[in-house]
Chains A and B, each alone.
Chain A
Amino acid sequence: MAILVWIEQHEGQAVSNCWELLARAKELGGELGADAAALLIGSDTGEAAQQAFAYGADRVLAANAPTLEHFRLQPFAAVAEQAVERTAAIAFLTNASIRGGVLAATVACRRSAGIAANATDLKVEEGRLLAARTIYSGNIHAEIQFESSLAVASVRPRSFPMPAPRDATGTVEDLNVGPNEDEVRQKISEFRATDTGEVSLTDAHIIVSGGRGVAEDPPKGFELVGELASTLGAALGASRAAVDAGYIPYKHQVGQTGKTVRPDLYIACGISGAIQHLAGMGNSKIIVAINKDPDAPIFQRAKYGIVDDLFKTVPALTAEFSKRLK
């Protein structure tokens, strides 16, 4: 019996949020009498498979083949289903990324299992696994009880603390690698890695975002916001207003129609705080607002604020932190 966790990989590297999930699976497994099992699917799973032991896996299963180099749903779902069977899994968990979400949904549907998508918590009560998630874009919170023998969840990044690796190794169990290349219907003709070196919004501990407040000089405004972000090792975010105005690409958008984030620190520069924006970042631990309008709604959700021009405040803050973080 096991709680099976898919360890997503990008270019061979494990996605670190998956270790948060694996460590949580270990705790839940302890309460339910189940092993924490890690599942790796790829063309180069060796290093990540050993890391899985270090992050607490009792068992590690891997399917290694050239056909599995890039994520394709058909072979990946086939391997995942096989791992569910092999480990007699009571739960199958994935990171709530684009691929993790679709893999969880497909495995759940094929096995007529209940799913908690984009879950924010997993716990055991009275010997049963429960998941928490929000609906209505963060405005209603719900707990989900599973009625199926397999429980499936895709879990939002940063839902659990990042574990420290321990000194552990083990023997990886090989899985059947699934269909041959000529049986895989999807063919990937071109693959481009993007965003290399950027801190991802959903993983970030700190996010610095810019909004309509940069309007008097958008390139300069986002340059200043970007400098503060890089000084703090933070991800760069933006409001919809800034994205729609063409100041910055959509991938930076936080909010209802962008990304949902919950960093430890969210610094909103020149963002008024429309409810659609708050829906995407309202669960940040500490919100700081920098805005020259003292009546901006963002101040109702912020813990700290500065009422001033961002073109003066942001570079001053960058200078202050550069000094302190030296």
Chain B
Amino acid sequence: MNVAVLIKQTPDTAELPRVTVAEAQSGQLQATMVINPWDEFAVEEAIDLSDRFGCETVAISMGREGETDALKHALAMGVDSAVHVDERVIDGGDEWATAEALAAAVKKVDTGEEVELVLAGKMSVDGNSSVIYAGVACKLGWDLLVNVTRIVDIVDGKLIAEQAFEGGQETVEVPLPVVISVAKEINEPRYPSFMGIRKASRASIPTLGRDDLEIRPSSTTRWTDLNKPEPEDVQVRIFDGASVEEKVAQLADALMAEKVI
């Protein structure tokens, strides 16, 4: 059983507010691009599983030509290999085209044994949709567990995991192969070591392109009217007073008048 981890290169979260409409439309961003922070948990879990169960790990990322920094980060953290999928394979298509390309890549990567577990982060900080891993599971015809907080065991071709949802937590058992999105609670992602970074910088990262993956075009939505919501220009009203009691009384008056309490 080998493990593939799906990752995405996204803008540094501190720079997200500076993304412009033009950049969102073209996809060419000025921002510093890093591994999507949610995906670090998936990478860490893959490495942890390889320590626990002796499996090979491969990171897969779709992006522009040469966009491999996130993959290098995953390699530096400790995954065994990395594969880049040239985003031109989906020809500007939608989430389902992306999912099909990633599913095809999972089938295509050569890790010796077959990949039977795909890990993904819970969402990307740019697309914010949390649908790609569901699409990958659907395209592969595999089971899907979401928001997994712990992989308890993998035994006799079955995976046992804990998943959390609003208001509850459950332990679930599912036969492999399976796609899993991981929650933040699952682990503490490690920082790449100096040795890891050196190894990653020398690693060769193959690209899968149009000749390798044949993807049916899919374009089920059209994005219209992109705009940047400007934060309302609120002028803060600071309540002054001789005592804290005076200040809170004024605040309470204001909130009662707003009818929010």
Which residues of A come within 8 Å of B, CB atoms? 10, 70-71, 73-74, 97-99, 101-102, 104-106, 108-110, 112-118, 130, 133-148, 185-196, 200, 202, 205-206, 232, 250, 256-257, 264-265, 275-276, 279, 282, 285-289, 294, 299-308, 312-313, 316-317, 319-321, 324-325
Contact = CB atoms under 8 A, between A and B. Distances in A.
B245 A143 contact: no
B236 interface: yes
A293 B229 CA distance: 27
B219 interface: yes
Given A105-B135, A186-B145, A313-B248, 17 more contacts: A114-B220, A118-B130, A136-B128, A139-B16, A140-B226, A146-B221, A147-B219, A147-B222, A188-B171, A191-B171, A196-B167, A206-B260, A232-B261, A276-B13, A305-B239, A307-B238, A316-B245
4 shortest interchain CB distances as A-B pairs? A114-B220, A105-B134, A114-B221, A117-B129
B144 interface: yes
Given A109-B138, A145-B222, A147-B219, A134 B167 contact: no
23 contacts: A98-B165, A109-B134, A117-B129, A117-B130, A137-B16, A137-B125, A137-B128, A142-B224, A145-B223, A188-B172, A191-B168, A191-B169, A196-B167, A232-B261, A257-B38, A265-B260, A279-B13, A286-B255, A289-B236, A302-B236, A306-B238, A313-B244, A320-B245
A113 B131 CA distance: 12
Interface string B189-224: 000000000000000000000000000001111111
B252 A257 contact: no
A256 B125 contact: yes
Interface residues of B, number: 77
Contacts of A312: 244
Contact of B126 (A135, A194, A306, A325): A135
A186 B172 contact: yes
Nearest to A113: B220
Contact of B225 (A142, A202, A282, A313): A142
A133 B227 CA distance: 11
A276 B225 contact: no
B184 A321 contact: no
Interface centre among A98, A108, A133 (most CB of B within 10 A): A98
Contacts of A134: 128, 229
A99 B144 CA distance: 11
A115 B248 contact: no
Interface string B221-261: 11111111101001011110000110111011011101011
A139 B228 contact: yes
A287 B126 CA distance: 25
A296 B166 CA distance: 32
B16 A279 contact: yes
B220 A112 contact: yes
A141 B228 contact: yes
B37 interface: yes
Contacts of B126: 135-137
A112 B218 contact: yes
Contacts, number: 253
Contacts of A325: 261
A189 B173 contact: yes
Given A105-B130, A317-B251, A98 B146 contact: yes
The residue among A70, A135, A140, A146 with the most chain B CB atoms within 10 A of its own CB is A140
A102 B134 contact: yes
B220 A140 contact: no
Given A105-B135, A140-B226, A135 B128 contact: yes
B14 A275 contact: yes
B92 interface: no
A190 B170 contact: yes
B256 A324 contact: yes
A114 B218 CA distance: 9
A313 B247 contact: yes
A13 B232 CA distance: 37
B126 to A, nearest CB: 5
Given A117-B130, A136-B126, A279-B16, A141 B227 contact: yes
A101 B261 CA distance: 31
A308 to B, nearest CB: 6
Given A206-B261, A303-B237, A305-B239, A265 B135 contact: no
Contact of A321 (B129, B224, B261): B261
A236 to B, nearest CB: 15
B247 A306 contact: yes
Nearest to B31: A136
B248 A304 contact: no
Given A73-B143, A137-B13, A305-B237, A265 B170 contact: no
Contacts of B143: 73-74, 185-186
Max count, chain A CB within 10 A of own CB: residue among B11, B19, B234: B234
